[in-house]
Amino acid sequence: MLELKDFCFTIEKDGEPHNLIDRVNLKIPAGHFMAIVGPSGCGKTTLLNTIAGLNEMSEGYIFWKGRDLEEDGDLEPAELGYVPQFSIAFEELTVDESIEAVTKLRVKTNDLGELDQRIDRVLEETGLTDIADRQVKVLSGGQKRRLGLAMELVTDPTLLLCDEVTSGLDPRSERDIVRRLHDISRRDGRIVISVTHSLAHLELYDSILVLHEGRVAFHGPPDELTHYFSVDDTEEIYPRLGKQESTKWNKSWEKHADSYYQKIEDTRVELIKSGKLNAPLAHGLTSKSSEDLEIEKNINLDATTELDAEEEVTLSKRQKRRKKAESSKLDDEFDVAKTDFIQEVSIAVQTPGIFSQFSTLLARRWKIFFRDRGQVYLQLAIMICFPLIVILFADQGNETLRKFSDAGTDYSIDGIKELNEIAKNRLNVGGAVSGIIMFQMVLLALMGSNNAAREIAGERKIMEKEKFGGVSPVAYLLSKVTFLIAIILVQSLVMGIAVQATWTFKGAEASSYIDHFTFLILINASMSFICLGISAMMKTAEKASMLSIYLVGFQLPLSGAMLALPDLVGQITRPFISAYWAWSGSLQNLQSGYYDAVKDVTKTPIDLGSNLSSFILIAQIVIGLVITFIGIKRHQWEH
């Protein structure tokens, strides 16, 4: 049983506390299908999200199977299923692949056979078997809603919460979804709660909860709705609500609450007797104490039987109302229920470990990458075109560097002319070498931005949903880092080899090119992981992309490679400019003549040492990863 007592969710409004959910009291038995309806802004989704734990309850109590969740801890991820209004599947995957991935992320299975059996079961249960091989992007709205439902059923949740899953669907698809939710509630005693704007198909629900301004205006059987609100048609209920304050509706419902709950209970008992509802869990075995169960099973169901004084004291009002159940049948059902409960506890779904989740997330990311042809073509275009931009300047960098000693000591007019030509040559070559290295760094920084700016923000809703379902933030971070490292290495390798083919790095030693290649990797990694951090902190991909582009745009002007910055400005900005450190670090590995030529064309300090440059870039990478983890771990659920 799910029970709410004086349940509140409060926000600050104009400096004052305001209850979006105000003193809600509900009792929802096992095997129950309830709709939450009401006008826009009445608190339907807020109530659902607060029950789910997405909003923190401000006051009151919430009990699940007799356990105070505030004191004894939240529901386990496998116990709770939450189907949001938005799609929680990647467009590039098929229906079967989507369900397989979420099963691997949320359910620890013993072998592939068990995995396939679980997938096949939820496909059949949600009517998706025939379209299992279709990609998500070609599904209709109703099919996507069923897929979202299937992805939650993989853990066999005992509490299933659905937020506007019928919104925007045609009447046929809407009825299909409601019918499936109804059937799901009848299996294994699940509680299914569905938020809906629609007042159609209410007869399929066991009870209807009507909210008005965050308060309960009605909770009872669907066939009592029109009578309670004194209307001829359910469509007249919302206008009727506005004619009376929510406090008055709430008081009116409280007067009728006991009789409505009795009707709900009577209907539930009939369903149990007819075999339409799973009896053991429906009797609320896990929400009652053993004493309550013993009392309940010994009640004589004969309507003429009177309770003695001791029973009158012992039995609750609710238990008294259950005098119509057969004693012998309850004896048998109690024994079966006890056995089933023990088995249920022993086979509870376990969440996979971090490594298992990491491997699933990484495999899924690569599959999505290669199926997104636009992204693949963009990466290929960048890796081909960006090195070509650098190669355009290769001839200038290949010009032979002349030395002043070549002019000797001739100070004649011809000698002075030759000195001027040597000076011009050194400026040209120094500027070209500096520019070629800087272009490589800036373009790799741009690649890094493109790699990561949308990586997390672009799948924010799915990530938040998967975290809610038990996916570890550490596993998610590791999958992103591993994926990006592979991309970074390929991009940097292609850039270095392509440029080296037309312009040889003027290294002081044979190993200098390796050092230069290391800085190509570091600049790409630095910008990738900083932008990944930005992506993790932003709620939308558009904001993350815009901020990342601005960050790259500042790299060249603030590096001081082209025009030296004022000393004070340079000292303030330089620690944050990745391109500067990669550029200056690479310059340390040049032959002394080329290094001196570069110093002649720039007033920006470049003699800070390659070790310091490496350290700063690595520090930026670490900072980016820390920010990313904070952003991933932080709750950013969009309602």
Last residue of a domain, one of 346, 375, 392: 346
Q: Are residues 266 and 317 in the same domain?
A: no
| Domain contains 107 | no
Q: Are residues 276 and 368 in the same domain?
A: no
Q: Which pTM does this prediction carry?
A: 0.84
Q: Which of 89, 212, 200, 228 is nearest to 154 (CA)?
A: 89
| Domain contains 108 | no
Blockwise average pLDDT, block size 10, the chain, 639 residues: 92 86 92 93 92 90 86 83 89 97 94 94 94 95 93 94 90 92 87 92 94 94 93 91 92 92 90 75 38 43 44 46 43 44 52 96 97 94 93 85 67 75 86 91 95 95 93 97 98 94 83 90 97 94 93 86 79 88 91 87 83 95 97 80
Q: Are residues 29 and 10 in the same domain?
A: yes
| Domain contains 13 | yes
Q: Are residues 273 and 375 in the same domain?
A: no
Last residue of a domain, one of 282, 305, 332: 282
Q: Are residues 563 and 425 in the same domain?
A: yes
Residue 268 to residues 168, 221, 275, Cα–Cα distance (Å): 31, 11, 11
Q: Are residues 313 and 421 in the same domain?
A: no
Query: Residues 52-95: pLDDT tens digits?
Result: 988 889 999 999 888 888 887 778 888 899 999 888 899 999 99
DSSP symbol at 284: T
**Strands 59-64 and 2-13, sheet pairing:** antiparallel
Query: Residues 517-560: pLDDT tens digits?
Result: 999 999 999 999 999 999 999 989 999 999 999 999 888 888 88
Question: d(Cα 311, Cα 306) in Å, to the nearest integer?
Answer: 10
Q: Cα angle vertex 191, ends 263, 345, to 5°? A: 125
Q: Are residues 587 and 619 in the same domain?
A: yes
Q: Are residues 496 and 362 in the same domain?
A: yes
| Domain contains 104 | no
- CATH of residue 197's domain is 3.40.50.300
Q: Which domain holds residue 589?
A: 354-633
pLDDT at 45: 93
What b-and-e string marks burial along 287-309, b requiring 16 or more CB atoms within 10 Å of the CB? bbeeebbebbbebeeeeeeeeee
Q: Which of 587, 626, 376, 588 is nearest to 490 (CA)?
A: 376
Q: Are residues 417 and 550 in the same domain?
A: yes
Name the amino acid, one letter, at 230. S
Question: d(Cα 52, Cα 44) in Å, to the nearest integer?
Answer: 13
Asked if residues 16 and 73 have their Cβ atoms less than 8 Å apart, the reply is no
What b-and-e string marks burial along 601-636, b requiring 16 or more CB atoms within 10 Å of the CB? bbebebebebeebbebbeebbeebbebbbebbeeeb
DSSP symbol at 351: P
Q: Are residues 528 and 615 in the same domain?
A: yes
Q: Are residues 332 and 252 in the same domain?
A: no
Q: How many CA atoms lie within 13 A of 578 on its CB side?
A: 34
Count of domains observed in the chain: 3
| Domain contains 131 | no
Q: Are residues 268 and 375 in the same domain?
A: no
Q: Cα angle vertex 590, ends 586, 593, to 5°? A: 145
| Domain contains 97 | no
